[in-house]
Chains A and B, each alone.
Chain A
Amino acid sequence: AQRVTQPEKLLSVFKGAPVELKCNYSYSGSPELFWYVQYSRQRLQLLLRHISRESIKGFTADLNKGETSFHLKKPFAQEEDSAMYYCALSGAGGGNKLTFGTGTQLKVEL
């Protein structure tokens, strides 16, 4: 069975402070990991995926297979980063089916 764990329901940081949203997963094979973001009153949208190994809006995430983690990081938080962030996993051969974590609400305060 595959599972995604996001231990923090709410993360509050000050503008300009570093951000780390934690995500751990459980999967027996080689997963594909994603971070999705949902801004207030908007639909869910893809932020980044581990196979792309790119930085989007200053965010990066590295897949650590040893620790089964895919933490999302940004060195300097901006007010517009305030949103709900979901970590998700797609298993190999799973037909793009996603298992979502419970989400972390990021609040960036001035």
Chain B
Amino acid sequence: GAVVSQHPSWVICKSGTSVKIECRSLDFQATTMFWYRQFPKQSLMLMATSNEGSKATYEQGVEKDKFLINHASLTLSTLTVTSAHPEDSSFYICSAIRSGTYSSEQFFGPGTRLTVL
């Protein structure tokens, strides 16, 4: 089956620093990837749609200057949390769309736990 990886799996950083999270589709190409955020015991909240070769599309209320998304290749999207603060601490999950002949399916990465001190 299709595999999506995320790196790192967890990261701890100081307040004010920037953190980059990678999302890779390992065995398929994905023109579209998504970034979600999940707070403890809560659902996944879509943050943005990452489009290969073009600007990301952000959901309402998500600061695009704070959460920088780059989708430079068909297998890699990155999310950079700039000037991170404790309230940015969360579980970040990416997904990638694998398009088939008749339908498409969304495959999820394992998530990245971000803790901002």
- Which of B11-19, B20-28, B98-106 touches A? B98-106
Instruction: Select the stretch in A14-22, A61-69, A99-107 that faces chain B.
Output: A99-107
Q: How many positions in chain B have a CB within 8 Å of any CB in the partner chain? A: 19
Contact between A103 and B43, CB atoms less than 8 A apart: yes
Interface size counted on chain A using CB atoms at 8 A = 16
Q: Is the CB of B46 within 8 A of A99?
A: yes
CA distance A110 to B97 in the complex (A): 38
- In the bound complex, residues from chain A placing their C-beta under 8 Å from that of B110 are 42-43
Query: How would you classify the secondary structure of chain B's contact residues: helix, strand, loop or mixed?
Result: strand
Closest to A99 in B: B46
A33 to chain B, nearest CB (A): 13
Contact among A42, A45, A86, A95 with B43 in the assembled complex (CB-CB below 8 Å): A86
* Complex alpha-carbon distance, A98 and B46, angstroms: 8
Task: Determine if A96 is an interface residue (Cβ-Cβ < 8 Å).
Answer: yes
A53: interface (CB < 8 Å): no
Compute how far the CA of A44 lies from the CA of B34 in the bound complex, rounded to whole angstroms: 14
The A interface, classified by DSSP as helix, strand, loop or mixed, is loop
0/1 interface trace, chain A 39-52, chain B, CB 8 Å (1 if under): 00011111000010
Residues of A within 8 A of B45 (CB): 100
Q: Which residue of B lies closest to A36 (CB)?
A: B108
CB pair B46 A97 closer than 8 Å: yes
- CB of B97 within 8 A of CB of A96, answer yes
CB <8 Å contact, B49 and A44:
no
Can you offer 17 A-B residue contacts whose CB atoms are under 8 A? A42-B110, A43-B108, A43-B110, A44-B44, A44-B108, A46-B105, A46-B106, A95-B32, A96-B32, A96-B106, A97-B46, A97-B49, A98-B46, A100-B44, A100-B45, A102-B43, A103-B43
> Which 6 A-B pairs have CB atoms at the shortest separation, nearest pair first?
A44-B108, A102-B43, A100-B43, A43-B110, A100-B44, A43-B108
